[in-house]
Amino acid sequence: MLERLRVLLRMVVAHPHYKLLAVLLALSAWWYVTASDPAQETVSVPVDWIEPPDLIATGLPGRITVVLEGPRSALRRVDKNALRLPIDLATVSTELGEHSLDLAGLPIENLPSTVQLTEIRPESVTFTLDEVEERSVNVEPKVVGEPAEGWMVVGVKLEPSVVTVRGPRSLLVNLTTIETFNIDVSGLRFDRRFKTQPDLAGVEVVGDATIEARVDVEPRTESRVFSEVPVVVRGRTGWVAEPTTVRVRAEGPAASLRQISASDVIAQIYLPDEPVRGLYQASFEATEGVRAEVIVPSELVEVVDVQPETIKVIRQ
């Protein structure tokens, strides 16, 4: 026996191709054994629900989870994207109301015969059959985020603002308004158009579901008070105002107001070309006669109140 082993050893050493043949035989045996080993794999499978005519089902999952078992090589050849589970609900019931359906034992399309379905989750589903209804509903914009600092949203117009939806009568009976998906206006500082769609739950839009939202923004209006604005008599010497300062409240875009310093605001009084009296009353509300005016260095800012409303102008 020992002599035979020595002979075999000399043959392997003397002939290297025997080594290669031995390796190939070993690999082939390993592949055959592993490929034939039983294995399991969990796969998500879409369900094709076929609803009865003029009825609609709610509560049904779009996908189920199945556990497949078979030889490892057969599992590798399964086209997971081709697997589907078609279910005709008319074979379950055509009556309105709640129903149950046992999914166990239902055949999976495009599943090879060498692969077995060993588990399905969920094992059963509960669904409700209802009559189909269509209704026109208003669409409201759902605006999120904040425009750029100093700006504000002044209007959102949807086109169309009314859509026709289709769904179960029980869901549509009290449905009058639906919202769009989020319209994000973060950082916006100019008018902009967005493409969006209605945010639906359990119903669908009949026709094109695309909605155009036009968002209009304007500078945010703020109010600011200048407490001691000096009063001067324009183009005149020898005249004084009493009081010498007024309190001014102005409104306008936040950014414009912040750029104005207290020294930029001044109140001016306009006397007649040839004043004949030594005392005049100037009014910030007057359009004729002796009038007073507050000057601010921005066309976007408006003076909305001045106190006091009238000023004495005295010749010295």
| Predicted confidence (pLDDT) per residue in 141-190, tens digit | 999 999 998 888 999 999 999 999 999 998 898 899 999 999 999 999 99
In a domain, 183, yes or no: yes
Given 202, 219, 236, the domain boundary residue is 219
Residues 167 and 241 in one domain: no
Residue 20 is assigned to a structural domain of this protein: no
> Are 234 and 204 found together in one domain?
no
> What pLDDT score was predicted for residue 256?
86
Residue 105 covered by a domain: yes
pLDDT level of residue 235 (50, 70, 90 thresholds): confident
Residue 29 belongs to some domain of the structure:
no
| pLDDT, tens digit (0-9, with 9 covering 90-100), for 265-298 | 999 999 988 888 999 999 998 777 899 999 999 9
| Same domain, yes or no: 136 and 175 | yes
**Residue 150 within a domain:** yes
Q: Is residue 1 part of a domain?
A: no
Token code pair at residue 102: 């046992």
- The domain boundary, picked from 71, 100, 122, lies at 122
For residues 173 and 232, state if they share a domain.
no
Contacts of 65 (CB under 8 A, 6+ apart): 42, 43, 44, 45, 120, 121
Same domain membership, residue 244 and residue 214: no
Average model confidence (pLDDT) across the chain: 88
Indicate if 114 and 156 belong to the same structural domain.
no
| Domain-ending residue, one of 89, 122, 155 | 122
111 and 191 share one domain: no
Residue 161 CA to residue 283 CA, distance in Å, equals: 50
Q: Evaluate if residue 97 carries a pLDDT over 60.
A: yes
pLDDT, tens only, 201-218:
888 999 999 999 999 998
What is the rounded (10 degree) CA torsion for 247, 250, 256, 258?
40
Q: Looking up tokens 């207290």, which residue turns up?
A: 262
226 and 199 in a common domain = no
Distance CA 156, CA 212 (A): 10
Q: What is the CATH number of the domain that holds 240?
A: 2.170.120.30
Q: From the CB of residue 139, how many other CB atoms can be counted at a distance below 10 Å?
A: 23
Number of domains in the chain: 3
Q: pLDDT-based confidence at 6, cuts 50/70/90? A: low
| CATH number, domain with residue 213 | 2.170.120.40
- The Cα–Cα gap between 234 and 282 comes to 12
In this structure, is residue 278 part of a structural domain?
yes
Backbone angles phi, psi at 45, to 5 degrees: -120, 130
- Please report the pLDDT score of residue 67 as a whole number: 93
pLDDT higher than threshold 50 for residue 35: no
Same-domain pairing of 215 and 230: no
For residue 293, the enclosing domain spans: 221-315
Same domain, 161 and 211: yes
7 in any annotated domain:
no
Query: What is this structure's pTM?
Result: 0.56
- Does residue 115 share a domain with residue 139? no
Asked if 238 and 284 sit in the same domain, the reply is yes
